[in-house]
Amino acid sequence: MCKTCIFCVLLLLVPLVNGLQAGTSASRNLPATFVPGGSVQVTINVSTDPANPPAAVIVNETVPEGWTISSAVPSYIKVIGQTYTWLQYSTSGVSSFTISYTIQIPSNAAGTCKFSGTISASGEMKIPISGSQRITQVNTVIEPIFSPAPGSYTSPVNVSLSCETPGATIRYTTDGSDPGLTSPLYTTPLNLTSSCSLKARAYKSGLNPSSVASATYTVQTQPGSISGWIDYQGNCAGLIFIYLLPANSYLSVPAYSTVSPGPGPFTISSVSTGCYYLWAFLDANGDGLFDVLTEPSHFYPDNPVTVLPGQNLSSVNFSLTDPVVRKGDLNFDGTVNVIDVVLCLRMATESEVSLGSFTYQVPYPEKLISAADLNQDASIDIFDLIGILQLALGAGS
């Protein structure tokens, strides 16, 4: 009977012969460097429990692409692609043993090359071979390592990069491109808040750059929610549109929204981790658009809310207020800034003015003129523009 046939029969029988075996492990020993076109000696030390040895031990060793094992003691029993398999069995149990093999290195091998393998005993689940996993071309920086390991995470993850070559610097990318000397320099752990393809390469003067290390991190954070109470004491009635904005401007595109029939409780569900600015308005005329001059609203640009993974943020309460004329505040956002200066300039030249969802033209509404006419001379001119500019500079100081 051929060795492969014996191997197949043992895979069926050994679980019945000996049951589960504890204390079986393997560790690989690799030299630190290699020379392209040469060869290296590798050993795998297999340890079994002397008090209860397994009936069979199976070792699978996967070598780098293009590398070939030329001789091995004991001999392997089969090869599939780059994976070599050893089988040791005995009716009295397999004692600890060592696999020693010589591997030939292709002439085009470069950078850091990786070995991987598994060991199983008497039908147990396979466990990884520990010990040395990587070997680096001579006179070459060792490939960087990522920690924690690549994979899927349910919250933002801080990824550290390290290199075993003393004095090496690491450069990285997060867009899937290969790093170069102009890529960002790694200094502190990278905070990944979304999925990305991370690559890194290490450099040191006098040595070849390392090979490129690649890792994919999938960040699937658990969504949260925001809930609270809307208050309004004015005389308007209608649906209330509530938005979560990614930027501190009510003109930005909302990330999330909901509609409330009126003052009272509200909830926005399935909110991704992040910082948001809350904005809402009461649609008094029922057109679904916000008229900054006539409709009650809420916007606090300096008071964002932060949603953490899986967090149900409650008691986010706010009040809608009717529009109030504030001299210089032409967009009614509670501050006087460069936007108001631009709006005043457009009014002085009798151009159209866009506020929220509405566009106004000459003759402008009385409330808008009241906000822009700082010197109360019934016209919008250079003097009002200078006055609003001064207010904007004062607000920003």
Q: Which string of DSSP letters, residue by residue, matches 125-151?
A: PPEE-EE--EEEETTBPPPPEEESPSE
Indicate if the pLDDT at residue 104 is higher than 60.
yes
- The CATH number of domain 145-219 is 2.30.30: no
pLDDT on residue 247: 84
Phi, psi of 245 (to 5 degrees): -105, 140
Nearest partner of 357 among 277, 235, 258, 241, judged by Cα: 241
Query: Which residue type is seen at 99?
Result: I
pLDDT on residue 194: 86
What is the mean pLDDT of the segment spanning 110-124?
Answer: 90
- The CATH number of domain 3-137 is 2.60.40.10: yes
Q: What is the enclosing helix (H) or strand (E) of 13?
A: helix 3-18
pLDDT band at 243 (very low <50, low <70, confident <90, very high): very high
pLDDT band at 11 (very low <50, low <70, confident <90, very high): very low
pLDDT band at 252 (very low <50, low <70, confident <90, very high): confident
Q: Using CA atoms, how far apart are residues 118 and 128, in angstroms rounded to an integer?
A: 4
pTM score, two decimals?
0.56
What is the mean pLDDT of the segment spanning 184-211?
Answer: 95
Indicate if the pLDDT at residue 129 is higher than 50.
yes
Same fold, 3-137 and 224-320: yes
pLDDT band at 6 (very low <50, low <70, confident <90, very high): very low
Indicate if the pLDDT at residue 150 is higher than 70.
yes
- Spans of all domains in the chain: 3-137, 145-219, 224-320, 338-396
SS3 category, 371: helix
Vertex 250, ends 305 and 355: CA angle to 5°? 165
Phi, psi of 25 (to 5 degrees): -155, 170
224-320: CATH number: 2.60.40.10
pLDDT band at 394 (very low <50, low <70, confident <90, very high): confident
Q: Using CA atoms, how far apart are residues 49 and 47, in angstroms rounded to an integer?
A: 7
Q: What is the enclosing helix (H) or strand (E) of 71?
A: strand 68-73
Query: Could you report the per-residue pLDDT of 286-300, keeping only the tens digit for each?
Result: 999 889 888 999 976
Residue in the structure block whose two tokens are 């926005």? 268
pLDDT on residue 18: 41
What is the mean pLDDT of the segment spanning 198-224?
Answer: 94
Determine what percent of the chain is predicted with pLDDT higher than 70: 92
pLDDT band at 7 (very low <50, low <70, confident <90, very high): very low
Which of 12-21, 91-100, 265-274 is predicted least confidently?
12-21
Determine what percent of the chain is predicted with pLDDT higher than 90: 73
Neighbours of 3 (CB within 10 A): 12
Indicate if the pLDDT at residue 154 is higher than 90.
no
pLDDT on residue 3: 47
- Secondary structure of 237-278 in HEC code, one letter for each residue: CCCEEEEEECCCCCCCCCCEEEEECCCEEEEEEEECCEEEEE
Taking all residues of the chain, what is their mean pLDDT, rounded to a whole number?
Answer: 90
Stated length of the chain: 397
Maximum CA extent, the chain: 109
Q: Using CA atoms, how far apart are residues 326 and 388, in angstroms rounded to an integer?
A: 11
Q: Using CA atoms, how far apart are residues 4 and 56, in angstroms rounded to an integer?
A: 14
pLDDT band at 281 (very low <50, low <70, confident <90, very high): very high
Which of 229-243, 288-302, 319-333, 367-381 is predicted least confidently?
288-302
